[in-house]
Structure 1
Amino acid sequence: MSLSIQGKTAIVTGAARGIGLAIARHFAAVGANVMFADSDEAALETELGADAAAEGPIRAFAGDLGQKLTLANLVSATIDAFDRVDILVNAHRMVQGCDPLAVSEDMLAEMLRQNMISGLRLSQMVAKRMLAQVESGDTPPLQSGAIVNLTSLAADWPQPQMLAYSIASAAQAQATRALASALAPQRIRVNGVAFASIMSNNMQLKLREDPGLRDRMIAATPLGRIAGADELAGTVQFLASEASGFITGQILRVDGGRSLGDPLAPGVY
């Protein structure tokens, strides 16, 4: 089976910077039509500039992805631009530490909204569109669509200082499995990627705050390095392509072997 996603249409959230941007750019480079979606309109404009052409394979959408109406508008904008949607990558994430004995209900609710609920809502909307495409005869029945959710090892490593994020990550992983089970009969595959030791925006901040962290992280990673965001993009492409056509409901760890040992330090992924 082919790794190609050429000619497919993908929505990638969190696409204004970091890992989401790397995934969206990678998809465009291998021939997909890509809707770059993010809440930060200025960052999208800075990153894409003239690349987001009115008639080209790259488009941009900005808005609060935590709002149902915004998500519905995102799907509509994608259909208007490309007539269909084949792939959804929920790469939008919020990472924030907390005092485990003082975490507020508001913070927990916001972490769940940003890291699980918004992605689940968008997945539901996109899945309905994918089903409509199958019913109209526009999609081969064995290739109805693929959804990929980004999550974290925090789902399995519930460190105290990352309590709210750990809960949200675990919820995202469970939502991935449940939606995969629900959509499997319709041949829509849903998988997740839990990553660590990848150069995300959050890691860049941590490295600036703690100059010695890089060496400690490399020492704690069996493959002995920190990976670039573009390396994660290849894994997401695999899960979005026909090459993974018999894989659904799985959370694939991309961590350089970090999960083979103990967590490096509280709040570091």
Structure 2
Amino acid sequence: MSFSIAGKTAIVTGAANGIGFAIGKHFADRGANVVFADVDEDRLREELGENGSIENVRYFAGDLREKLTIANLLSATIDAFEKVDILVNGARQCLPADPLNPDDDAVQTLLQQNLITSLRLTQLIAKRMIKQSEGEEEGSAGAIVNISSIAARRTHPDLMAYSVSTAALDQMTRSMAVALAPHRIRVNAVAFGSVMSASLKTTLKDNSEYRETIEEATPLARIASPGELAEAVQYLASEASGFMTGQIMTVDGGRTLLDPVDVPAH
């Protein structure tokens, strides 16, 4: 099976910076048509620069928590590239939470951002994938990859909202994989440990000792680059993983083998 995604059309959400941008750029550099989607239009323009006008790259700005915006994203993708083969649900948010404070809305906020938005987009894009594969009996009709976290399997009170939302995303991945399997659409997820995302860069800038803490908690003793996560996502999006669905692939440098509960996962 081939790792190639050349000629495929992918939507990548959360693509204005960090991990989402790295995935989108990685896909575009390997010949895929890519729609970079994010709420931050200024950052999309800044990150993409002249690349935003090249043949196989488009950007879409809008709040994907809104159903109409999701529909507009699909329409924009079809207008530009006539189809959609890959969806990467990369838009995510991490907020601290106080488990003992009944007025803390972090769980509700993150369930909306990290779960419900991905679910709605998956449902809509899957319908399009099913429609465009009508009459075909073999081969993949589409691949959906959710960006999750090892926080889904760990217990850290300050990250309760993030852990709950990513655990729910993992279960959504499994459920949608079973539901879409008869339509030849695969649904998988990548659960990552510490990756040099935009938010982690900011954290490390303000707390230099935190890098050492993370590295000591990781058997490979380093923080992953966004490009390494993008490679894993490409595998799940390509035919190389054609017999994989409903799987949560862990990319964490061995972090969960030790699982020090006092070190937050990012």
Q: What TM bracket, shorter-length normalisation? A: over 0.9
Deviation at 1:206, TM superposition (A): 2.0
Q: What are the superposed Cα offsets for residues 159-212 of structure 1, whole Å, 9 maximum, x if unpaired? A: 100111111111100000000010011110000011012111221122123211
Hey, what does 1:229 align to over in structure 2?
A: 226
1:220 aligned to which of 208, 217, 223: 217
Q: What's the secondary structure of 2:191's corresponding residue? A: strand
Hey, what does 2:169 align to over in structure 1?
A: 172
**One-letter code aligned to 2:50:** A
Distance 1:264 1:215, change over 3 A: farther
* 8 A contact 2:156–2:261 mirrored in 1: no
Q: What are the superposed Cα offsets for residues 88-117 of structure 1, whole Å, 9 maximum, x if unpaired? A: 000000001111111536332211010010
Q: What's the secondary structure of 2:101's corresponding residue? A: coil
1:262 aligned to which of 242, 259, 263: 259
The separation in 2 between residues aligned to 1:266 and 1:222, in whole angstroms, is 14
Q: How many residues align?
A: 266
Hey, what does 2:3 align to over in structure 1?
A: 3
The separation in 2 between residues aligned to 1:104 and 1:115, in whole angstroms, is 20
Deviation at 1:264, TM superposition (A): 5.5
Hey, what does 1:72 align to over in structure 2?
A: 71
* 8 A contact 2:193–2:251 mirrored in 1: yes
The separation in 2 between residues aligned to 1:241 and 1:202, in whole angstroms, is 28
TM-score (norm 1): 0.95
Hey, what does 2:151 align to over in structure 1?
A: 154
Deviation at 1:158, TM superposition (A): 2.5
Q: What are the superposed Cα offsets for residues 43-92 of structure 1, whole Å, 9 maximum, x if unpaired? A: 00111122112x61000000001110000100110000000000000000
1:209 aligned to which of 206, 224, 234: 206
* 8 A contact 1:103–1:164 mirrored in 2: no
**One-letter code aligned to 1:41:** E
Deviation at 1:143, TM superposition (A): 1.0
Hey, what does 2:84 align to over in structure 1?
A: 85
Moved more, 60-69 or 205-214: 205-214
TM-score (norm 2): 0.96
Q: What are the superposed Cα offsets for residues 197-239 of structure 1, whole Å, 9 maximum, x if unpaired? A: 2111221122123211111211111112111101100000000
Q: What's the secondary structure of 2:129's corresponding residue? A: helix
* 8 A contact 1:19–1:229 mirrored in 2: yes
**One-letter code aligned to 2:232:** T
Deviation at 1:123, TM superposition (A): 0.5
Q: What's the secondary structure of 1:135's corresponding residue? A: coil
Structure 2, unmatched stretches of 5+, are none
The separation in 2 between residues aligned to 1:263 and 1:119, in whole angstroms, is 29
Distance 1:103 1:166, change over 3 A: farther
Structure 1, unmatched stretches of 5+, are none
- Provide the identity percentage: 55
Matched, 1:187 2:187: no
Hey, what does 1:18 align to over in structure 2?
A: 18
Hey, what does 2:239 align to over in structure 1?
A: 242
**One-letter code aligned to 1:170:** A
Distance 1:121 1:85, change over 3 A: same
* 8 A contact 2:217–2:263 mirrored in 1: no
Hey, what does 2:101 align to over in structure 1?
A: 102
